[in-house]
Homo-oligomer: A and B are copies of this chain.
Amino acid sequence: MANTQAELRPIADVARDLGIAKEHLEPYGSDKAKIQLEALATAERPPGKLILVSAITPTPAGEGKTTVSIGLAQGLRKLGRRSALALRQPSMGPVFGRKGGATGGGASRLEPSNKINLQFTGDFHAITAAHNLLAAAIDNRLHFEDSILDPRSVLWKRALDVNDRSLRRVIIGLGGSGNGVPRESGFDITAASEIMAILCLADSPADLRARLNRILIGYTTEGRPVLAGEMGVTGSLAAILNEAILPNLVQSREGTPAFVHGGPFANIAHGCNSILATRMALAFADYAVTEAGFAFDLGGEKFFDLKCRAGGLNPSAIVIVATIRALKMHGGLALDALTTPDPSAVERGLENLAAHLDSAVHFGKPTVVAINQFAADTPDELEVVHSYCRSRQVASSTANVFGAGGDGAKDLARIVVEATKAPPTPYQPLYPLEWSAEQKIERIAKVMYGADGVNILPGAAAKFRKARKLGYGSLPLCMAKTQDSLSDNPKLRGRPKGFTLTVRDVEIAAGAGFLVALTGDIVRMPGLPERPAAERIDVDSASQITGLS
């Protein structure tokens, strides 16, 4: 490892070098800080260039998108460029489930990684608390019968940042008339809370508050929509979120500044860090490296059509991360066959990369390919990818970010700098907001997923009609689709063809400002595996956390 945590610079120095004034810094220990939003207006340089890192379709072999993002930002620093990261905070639930930590890896890792993976600065906890206070206020109104809300129509559930399948569907309010109104409900993981999406899309505290007020929580018995603002507690929700809305500053192992803030799900939500964190990175760096959840078909599309639209952002370049291992899985190999050299499997798997490169073209941004290098990759296999990229006139680079950090990403950084030399073309969404939801979905399905068409089931169609009637017709679409395939069938790797995308259900996320189109069973509350990571994590006698990353 290049550095140990003990060698990190004080976060106050990292902030100072960025040009953030001391009075705008709220240190949380010596290694993390919150940045006051007033800092945004003090930046003394033109906004930096935004670089979006996305990936090919994920496989169990892993792509290391976050690790590449961190490595790239470090590589830019090695070239003498002023870079900063804008990344999501990991969700604590999955940390104790299957995933372990989620702060990059090896020499391209965020620090203090253990803290970022757990409590960090309390933002997820604040979102959980705000979410559940709204839920308690709703049931309190039902209990005192002073709301016209129909108990059977309540859409707002409760939230916890834990992997706990037993909470997915519950009956609450039992035990007699003193304990509320019995009704069916459930818990989502905090990352799936609409308040998480709201916090990440809000561009100011006032916007946060307005979005909280707009959350659709249910209907009256006459079918009139009831908004969160009517419960009278959104001021308290804003109070709970008063510090959570401030972006957090940490650094990578090599001292590259990183704004780590927010972490919405990438299926039922938009899957990227907060707009405010991205703005911080743009305000104080020349190159702001950010990331969008899952592969480009989901994360990239949402980044452009939801986040850039809401935040007035305009990326200068797209990086698509691939690994030889994952391409081989897309080429048909099994997980246990990946260490055997097999350039032809890589060749077959290129169709998945090709699909994402084709999709990226629609946003009109320069795109490069980063191969996240693993020890077992052979020169022949790597050359298959580079040769393909050359044939498409797409720059590509093999990056050894895990092993060598920024030094392993200098070449990648160079092609990114090259790609972003020209001023960016204007921001181009995939569809105009005036289109119908059905048209929007068809556009996304055909262009991003390669579907032949879209089948909107009757229940979903009725909900689209209802949404339109209620005035939500011009909201953009948030696709909830499996991340494991370009199609809506998680078993189909590579580049599936000849399929129809089926939309089964629709949700109105009026506070976040999008309609969610559900194309399958989307888990909003993960479960723990039989032997969860929680059984391997511990604290040693020096109070150091072990087994986490």
Interface residues, chain A, with chain B CB atoms under 8 Å away: 26-30, 34, 92, 96, 114-115, 118-119, 121-122, 125-126, 128-129, 132-133, 135-137, 139-140, 143-144, 146, 158, 160-175, 178-181, 184, 205-206, 209, 232-233, 235-236, 238-240, 242-244, 527-528, 530, 532-539, 541, 543, 545, 547-548
Nearest Cβ on chain B to A249's Cβ, whole angstroms: 13
Given contacts A122-B122, A162-B136, A236-B96, are A543 and B180 in contact (CB under 8 A)? Answer: no
Contacts of A27 in B (CB 8 A): 27-30
Nearest Cβ on chain B to A245's Cβ, whole angstroms: 9
Contacts of A233 in B (CB 8 A): 96, 532, 534-535
Q: Is the CB of B26 within 8 A of A539?
A: no
CA distance A211 to B487 in the complex (A): 50
Nearest Cβ on chain B to A364's Cβ, whole angstroms: 38
Name the CB-closest residue of B to A530. Answer: B144
Q: Is the CB of A172 within 8 A of B166?
A: yes
Tally of this chain's copies? 2
Q: Is the CB of B543 within 8 A of A205?
A: yes
CA distance A139 to B164 in the complex (A): 8
Q: Is the CB of B235 within 8 A of A140?
A: no
Contacts of A162 in B (CB 8 A): 129, 132-133, 136
Name the CB-closest residue of B to A184. Answer: B174
Q: Is the CB of A137 within 8 A of B528?
A: yes
Q: Is the CB of B239 within 8 A of A539?
A: yes
Given contacts A239-B539, A239-B548, are A166 and B146 in contact (CB under 8 A)? Answer: no
Nearest Cβ on chain B to A25's Cβ, whole angstroms: 9
Most buried by B among A129, A239, A532, A545: A239
CA distance A180 to B169 in the complex (A): 10
Task: Sample 14 A-B pairs with CB under 8 A, ordered by A number.
Answer: A27-B28, A92-B129, A115-B243, A118-B240, A119-B125, A125-B129, A136-B162, A146-B530, A167-B172, A168-B175, A236-B533, A236-B537, A239-B538, A239-B539
Name the CB-closest residue of B to A171. Answer: B171
Q: Is the CB of B125 within 8 A of A527?
A: no
Q: Is the CB of B139 within 8 A of A165?
A: yes
Most buried by B among A125, A167, A206, A240: A167
Q: Is the CB of B160 within 8 A of A239?
A: no
Q: Is the CB of A209 within 8 A of B539?
A: yes
Name the CB-closest residue of B to A233. Answer: B534
Nearest Cβ on chain B to A26's Cβ, whole angstroms: 4
Contacts of A545 in B (CB 8 A): 239, 242
Residue of B26, B144, B166 touching A143 (CB-CB under 8 A): B166
Contacts of A30 in B (CB 8 A): 26-27
Contacts of A160 in B (CB 8 A): 132, 160
Name the CB-closest residue of B to A241. Answer: B539
Q: Is the CB of A161 within 8 A of B129?
A: yes
Contacts of A34 in B (CB 8 A): 29
Q: Is the CB of A174 within 8 A of B169?
A: yes
Contacts of A92 in B (CB 8 A): 129, 240
| A-B contact sample (8 more), CB < 8 A, given A140-B530, A235-B538, A238-B539 | A119-B244, A136-B162, A143-B527, A165-B180, A174-B184, A236-B535, A239-B545, A242-B543
Contacts of A118 in B (CB 8 A): 239-240, 242
Contacts of A158 in B (CB 8 A): 167
Nearest Cβ on chain B to A191's Cβ, whole angstroms: 14
Name the CB-closest residue of B to A146. Answer: B530
Name the CB-closest residue of B to A36. Answer: B543
Contacts of A534 in B (CB 8 A): 133, 137, 232-233, 236
Q: Is the CB of A163 within 8 A of B144?
A: no
CA distance A235 to B547 in the complex (A): 10
Contacts of A170 in B (CB 8 A): 170-174
Contacts of A29 in B (CB 8 A): 26-28, 34
Nearest Cβ on chain B to A123's Cβ, whole angstroms: 9
Which 6 residue pairs across A and B have the least CB separation, nearest first? A235-B538, A166-B180, A125-B125, A169-B175, A136-B164, A139-B166
Name the CB-closest residue of B to A181. Answer: B166
Name the CB-closest residue of B to A538. Answer: B235
